[in-house]
Amino acid sequence: MIGILGGTFDPIHFGHLRPALDCLQALGLDEIRLVPLNVAVHRAPPVAPSAQRLAMLEAAIVGQPGFVADAREIERPGGSYTYDTLVSLRAELGRERPLCLLIGADAFAGFLDWHRPADILDLAHLVVMRRPGASDALDPALQAFCAGRIRDRAGDLAETPAGRILFQDVTQIDVSATRVRELIRQDLSPRWLLPDAVISIIAAEGLYR
Ligand code: ATP
């Protein structure tokens, strides 16, 4: 099984990295593709340019087996739709291999507003990671969408290429990229919220000031 974690990664921080590692280990994933978006479609545009967000991501995962930086959204012009990314991953990996789209609970709350949510489930499983400050309760429309798809064992995802939803407990790390950017803007240290290698790039490039 292959995991996919998309995000702005503006910058990548321990709230991305540790929950991703938890999923890698708990679900027995072969690898996790970390996919920085190019042009945001559900949120405000990123602050740092794509090339620097990718460089920070690559620096963050050096030496971590199973973590792979995947630049396909950055290389694709126009809005970064997860649906398109999954179509492209399926073209590379084939139709049979289970794909698990990892998504934080805050992002999952808005999932039905994404481009082609039902088609996304035809291409991949969803693994929803609990996140500090995000409610576990689902609104009625999302509950209806999830009905019949929810499973509680990683093995249930390995059985089939796509279509199932798993709620995964991960280490609760109360950090957001917004908070990291705000600390830097105020000239306060963001240390121990994200890797030192990422902080070095931020300092060298003068990002988020
Ligand atoms: P921002 O503060 O700029 O909105 P962010 O910290 O939420 O950014 P993103 O790059 O937008 O980071 O997040 C990518 C994915 O990682 C999303 O699915 C998001 O829900 C998840 N995620 C981000 N931070 C955490 C965290 N602390 N715990 C669990 N999941 C997280």
Give the number of the atom of ligand 1 that is nearest the alpha carbon of residue 180: 2
CATH number where 149 lies: 3.40.50.620
pLDDT tens by residue, 113-158: 999 999 999 999 999 999 888 888 899 999 999 999 999 999 999 9
pLDDT tens by residue, 165-203: 999 999 999 999 999 999 999 999 999 999 999 999 999
Please check whether residue 19 lies inside any domain of the structure: yes
Please check whether residue 181 lies inside any domain of the structure: no
pTM above 0.95, yes or no: yes
Cα 82–Cα 41–Cα 130 angle in degrees, nearest 5: 60
How far, in Å, CA of 156 to CA of 165, rounded?
Answer: 10
Please check whether residue 187 lies inside any domain of the structure: no
Total domains in the chain come to: 1
Q: The domain containing residue 54 runs over which residues?
A: 2-173
pLDDT tens by residue, 31-56: 999 999 999 998 899 999 999 999 99
Cα(178) to centroid(ligand 1), Å? 9
Please check whether residue 46 lies inside any domain of the structure: yes
Burial zone of 113 (CB within 10 Å; 0-12 exposed, 13-18 middle, 19+ buried)? exposed
Give yes or no for residue 19 CB within 6 A of ligand 1.
yes
Question: Which mutation among 10, 101, 171, 176 tests ligand 1's pocket best, with the greatest number of atoms within 8 A of CB?
Answer: 176
Please check whether residue 195 lies inside any domain of the structure: no
Give yes or no for residue 4 CB within 6 A of ligand 1.
no
